Amino acid sequence: MAPDAGLEPLLSPKSVALVGASPKQASVGYVILENLLNRFKGVAYFVNPKYDTVEIAGRQVKFYKSLSEIPEPVDLVVIAVPAQVVPQVLEEAGKRGVKAAVIISSGFAEVGNKDLEDEVKAIGKMYGIRILGPNCLGVYNAFNGLDTVFLPTDRAGRPPAGPLALISQSGAVAASIMDWAARRQIGLSIMVNYGNKADVDDVELLRYFGQDDRIKVITIYLEGFRYPREATGFLEVAKEVVKKKPIIAYKAGRTSAAQRAVRSHTAALAGSYEMYKGLFRQAGIIEASNIREMFDMAKALASQPLPRGRRVLVLTDSGGMGIQAVDSLESLGLEVPEVPESIRRDLKRELLPFSALGNPVDVTGSATDQHYKVVLEALLPTAFFDMALVITLMQVPGLTQNLAEYIIDAKRFKKPIAVVNFGGSELVQTFTKTLEEAEIPTYSTPDRAAKALWALYEYAKIRRVVRT
């Protein structure tokens, strides 16, 4: 289903005007200009009355004196000028028929300048302009190349297109997540940082991403709502969205000291953490305890089928890692049942005599690729197991790159698989890359893989697909 057209000019415009564009390197206006020149698939216009035509990175770039000089229609205006000038720019945009604005500029309610923010809101309402911000990074859209993030790409990487979206209340956190995702080639297609949310807020963004079929999982970094009615609206929309796709949220500002910091950060009220925890539970939102965990769970939810129950097969070549996996799984309420004796007898004929066949199934440090294949094909198709946590320490001499293909082949059993692969050798990196490209999520430690499988089970419960 295509998303609601109301936010299309903001998140997926065909034309953009940058007011405050600059040829001066390292400035906010330059970085956004460079982003739009290099990646935006639509038409970009640059506004600054100080310049005419300037050579930038070997290209002749035309600057307009004002928005009114631009000869063609403009869907989105990106505003990067001092706060006191923003109302004037916004009014000019309204007279031009611009439908959306990203206000990068800070100096509004977050520093106590509420009257100026109210003026901006009033102008937007008068002309029907949807406003993102102020005090924000704005939008990164890998699908169409829209990028209003004013941090250079060598310091804040841009992730590739993929199944994840991020809604973030903090700009710096959003940029750090983008950089982290880019370095790991995690497909984060759209990021929106809304800052003070003078107009567009988390609720509308959640609804928009819920309707976009390209997005499989929505991730949210949240500090706080300003008013109780925001929480109510958020709850109502989230309940509908989770019927179609998972939402994972990380709520910062859990302690009293952190709540004070939230109030001075984005003019939001942190509120009681218990209230947010209850809201997430009511909505069917999966809660993460940190950023890394949020994306560990997200990549499993984006790539794996939902399990029909909580029973996990643990397959390992390391007894110690297997024990850690069982501890983590059981502490999360998942089950690690014994392998039935009838299947053990069959496995004994094909595995090494000193292999442990209970669960974890430990094929030991003398394992070969074939041993893993035998276990997966014997156990994963059965009704005894709903998921598999596979630990592959590639330092074992009998393991090769072929093992990745055996694990990928096990996708045909249509049960979730998470792989633990620890180390930094070239073989480990190639092995991990092969699995990730085949949409098998990999993790460096058993507890992270266990939490990813737990998230799949939790969402299966929300979607009511688990056995009773």
CA-wise closest residue to 212 among 300, 143, 157, 159? 143
Element (H, E) at 55: strand 53-56
CA distance 249 to 266: 18
Report the alpha-carbon distance of residue 227 to residue 243 in Å, rounded: 26
| Section 260-288 average pLDDT | 75
Distance, in Å, from the CA atom of 221 to the CA atom of 217, rounded to the nearest integer, reads 13
* Cα gap 57→396, rounded to integer Å: 50
Enumerate the β-bridge partners of residue 16. Answer: 44, 76
In this structure, the strands spanning 417-420 and 442-443 are: parallel
User: Does 168 have pLDDT greater than 70?
Assistant: yes
Q: Provide the 3-class DSSP secondary structure of residue 390.
A: strand
Can you tell me the distance from the alpha carbon of 387 to that of 379, in angstroms, rounded to the nearest whole number?
Answer: 10
DSSP letter for 311, please.
B
Domains 5-301 and 306-462 share a fold: yes
**H/E segment holding residue 241:** helix 228-241
pLDDT of 49: 97
For residue 297 the two structure tokens come to 């769970």
The tokens describing 145, both together, are 């190349």
The backbone torsions φ and ψ at residue 7, rounded to the nearest 5 degrees and listed phi first, read -100, 5
Instruction: Give the per-residue pLDDT at 292.
Output: 94
> What does the domain layout of the chain look like in residue ranges?
5-301, 306-462
Give the pair of three-digit tokens for residue 177.
């997540």
In this structure, of 8-22, 100-114, 219-233, 438-452, the range with the lowest mean pLDDT score is 219-233
The percent of the chain in helix, strand and coil, each rounded to the nearest 5, is 45, 20, 40
Domain 306-462 has CATH 2.40.30.270: no
- pLDDT(266) > 70: no
CB 199 within 8 A of CB 223: no
Query: From CA 102, how far away is CA 254, in angstroms rounded?
Result: 29
Residue 301 pLDDT class (50, 70, 90 cuts): very high
Q: At 352, is the pLDDT very low, low, confident or very high (cuts 50, 70, 90)?
A: very high
Query: Averaged over 309-338, what is the pLDDT?
Result: 98
Sheet bearing 188-193, strands edge to edge: 146-147, 138-141, 188-193, 164-168, 217-222, 247-251, 286-288
**Sorting pLDDT into bands at 50, 70 and 90, what band is 273?**
confident
Residue range 5-301 forms a domain whose CATH class is alpha beta
Residue 291, CA distances (Å) to 140, 173, 177, 219, 263 in order: 19, 9, 8, 10, 21
∠ CA 316-318-320 to the nearest 5 degrees? 115
- Report strand pairing: 164-168 vs 217-222: parallel
Residue bearing tokens 């959003």 = 174
Q: Which pLDDT value is given to residue 331?
A: 98
Please count the other Cβ atoms lying within 10 Å of the Cβ belonging to residue 222: 23
pLDDT in tens, 390-425: 999 999 999 999 999 999 999 999 999 999 998 889
pLDDT tens-digit readout, 87-146: 999 999 999 999 999 999 999 999 999 999 999 999 999 999 999 999 999 999 999 999
25 and 32 Cβ atoms separated by less than 8 Å = no
Average pLDDT over residues 162-167: 98
* pLDDT higher than threshold 90 for residue 2: no
d(CA 6, CA 207): 11
Q: Which two tokens stand for residue 202?
A: 């988390």
